[in-house]
Amino acid sequence: MQSLFRQVPSIDKLLRHPQAVEFLQQFAHTAVVDALRTLLTEARSFIQQQHQLPDYLANESTLFAALHERLNQTHQPNMRPVFNLTGTVLHTNLGRSLWSEKAIEAASDAMRHNVALEFDLAQGSRSHRDNYISALMQRLVGVEATCVVNNNAAAVLLMLATFAAGKEVIVSRGELVEIGGAFRIPDIMKQAGCTLVEVGTTNRTHLKDYRQAITENTAFLMKVHTSNYHIEGFTSSVSEAELVELGKEFGLPVISDLGSGSLTDMQALGLPAEPMVQEKVAAGVDLVSFSGDKLLGGPQAGIIVGKKALIDQLQAHPLKRVLRCDKVILSGLEVTLQSYLTPEKLTQTLPTLALLTQSVETLTQKAEQLRAVLCKRLDSRYELQIEPSLAQIGSGALPSEKLPSVALTISAESQADLLALENQFKQLPNPIIGRFAQQKFWLDLRSVAQFESLLAMLETAELK
C-alpha cells in the first residue's frame, strides 16, 4: 500500500510538466490545480479501496488525458442544447418554447449593448420598462395597459397580493388547479394573504353559487383556465361574460388566469381550440394573465393585460420590482409579439407554431431520413420502424388533445440494449431525448427542431 501511495505524483511536480503548462494557459492556474487535486484525491481513495493504482496513473500520458477531460467537463455547461424527440412540443423540462430568430437577435443585442429599457427616446426622459409591451398589446388585444413579470405564477401572485390581501377571492371548486412543480391556486392565495372562497362542486358550478358567496369582504371574482386537465360528463361552468355582469352588479372586478394564453385562433391553424386572450378582453374581464413561453411562443414571462387603473396599481406594488423582467426577456418578448402583427406568417416566424402545424407527410419524410442515418450507425441488435404516434402540445395546453404524429421506434431483444442506447444518445454532443413506450424507444418527429443538425450529428456519431 505504501509503495502504491508513493507512486502518486505531487501537484508541484505535475505543474512543471509541459502538458500542464499548456493547460495553465488554456484554463488558468486555479482550475488546473483544483482538477489535479481532485484527481489525486480520488486516486488515493481508489488505492485505499482497491489496493492498486487507477488506470489514469498508468503513465503521464493517461494522467494528463484524464486531467484534460476533467477540465473540459468542468468548463462545459450542463444546461446545453438537446434534441427533443419526446413528442411533447412545449416540454417544461426541456425549456418549453423556442424563440424566433428575430427574438434571439434582439435578446443578443440587449446583452451586448445598453438599450432604451426605461428611457423614452422621443421625449428624452425616463419611462417604464413595460411600455413597449403595453403598446403592442393595445394593438393586438385592444387592452388599455399591460404589466409584465417573470412568469404566470408570479402574475397571479401579484394580482392577488395587490387587490385581495386580507380579503376574499371567489373561485369555482372545479378550477382549483395544480400545475407542475406543485403550484396550487389555494397555496398562492395563502401566500398573497387572501382567503379562498370555493363555490360549486368539482363538476358543476352555477352563477348563483358566486352570487351567494359574495360578501362585503370580497375582493374580486376569479376564473382559472383548467389548462392541464379536462372534466367531461355532467358538467356546468360559468363563463367570463356572465361573471362580468355579476361583477358589475356588485362593483367587483373579474380576473382570469388563462395559463397558456393564445393570441391566435388555433383552429385556423388546424389545431385544437384554445381560449384566446382577445376573447376574455372582449367579454369585459378586468385583468387577464397568461404565459409568454407556451402557446405565445416566446420567452418565459407572465403577462397581465386589462384596465389601466388596475394595471397602474399592479405596477406600484412592491412585489412588481421583485418580479419584473430584465432587458433580455423584454427584448425577446417585444419581437415575439411583433410577429403577431403579421398573423399570416406566424407558422413561419414562430418555431412553436411551426412544429405544431407540420403535416404528417412532412414528419414521415423526416422519419425516413432519420431511419436511414441510424441504420448506418446501429448494428443488427436493433430494429427500426416508422410508426404512427400521438404528440401533445405540452406545458398544460390542451392536455386531452393529441396531435397526429410520426415516430421512429427502436426495439431490441434485450431491454438492457435499449437502455444502453438511450444512454449513448444522452452522451452525444447534443443529447437526444426520446421516450419509452410498449417496450420500444420512440423518437417522435413532431417535437424536434433543427432537424438537419440532428442528422449531421448522427452521421459522425460513434454508436455501439
- At 230, is the pLDDT very low, low, confident or very high (cuts 50, 70, 90)? low
Burial 298-321 (b: 16+ CB within 10 A, else e): bbbbbbbbbbeebbebbbebebbe
The three three-digit cell numbers of residue 326, written as one number: 430584465
pLDDT on residue 396:
63
201 is written with which cell numbers? 362542486
- Contact (CB, 8 A) for 294 and 97: yes
Q: Which residues lie across from 145 on neighbouring strands? A: 306
pLDDT digits (tens, 9 = 90+) for 346-405: 999 999 999 999 999 999 999 999 999 999 999 999 999 999 999 999 876 555 578 999
DSSP 183: E
Cα of first residue to Cα of last residue in the chain, in angstroms, is: 38
Under DSSP, is residue 55 helix (H, G, I), strand (E, B) or coil?
Answer: helix
More confident: 236 or 12: 12
Cβ within 8 Å of residue 306, ≥6 positions away = 143, 144, 145, 255, 281, 285, 286, 287, 288
pLDDT digits (tens, 9 = 90+) for 18-76: 999 999 999 999 999 999 999 999 999 999 999 999 999 989 899 999 999 999 888 88
In this prediction, residues 251-280 reach a mean pLDDT of 91
Assign 237 a pLDDT band (cuts: 50, 70, 90).
Answer: confident
pLDDT the model gives residue 238:
85
Q: At what angle do helices 29-50 and 60-74 cross, to 10 degrees?
A: 120
In which band, very low, low, confident or very high, does the pLDDT at 234 lie, cut at 50, 70 and 90?
low
pLDDT digits (tens, 9 = 90+) for 154-199: 999 999 999 999 999 999 988 777 665 556 778 888 888 899 999 9
In the predicted model, is pLDDT for residue 116 greater than 90?
yes
Q: Which residues pair with 120 in a beta bridge?
A: 125
Inform me whether the pLDDT recorded for 232 exceeds 80: no
Pairing mode of beta strands 254-259, 287-291: parallel
Q: Is the dihedral of CA 134, 137, 143, 147 positive or negative?
A: negative
d(CA 163, CA 168): 10
Q: Average the pLDDT over 306-335 and give the result.
A: 97
Contacts by 78-82, CB closer than 8 A, 24 or more apart: 80/430, 80/431, 81/430, 82/430, 82/431, 82/432, 82/433
Q: Is the model's pLDDT at 228 over the cut of 60?
A: no
**pLDDT score at 322:** 96
**Kind of pairing, strands 119-120 and 125-126?**
antiparallel
State residue 201's pLDDT score: 84
Confidence at 134, pLDDT banded by 50, 70, 90: very high
Question: In the predicted model, what is the mean pLDDT of the chain?
Answer: 92
pLDDT at 319: 96
pLDDT in tens, 425-436: 999 999 999 999
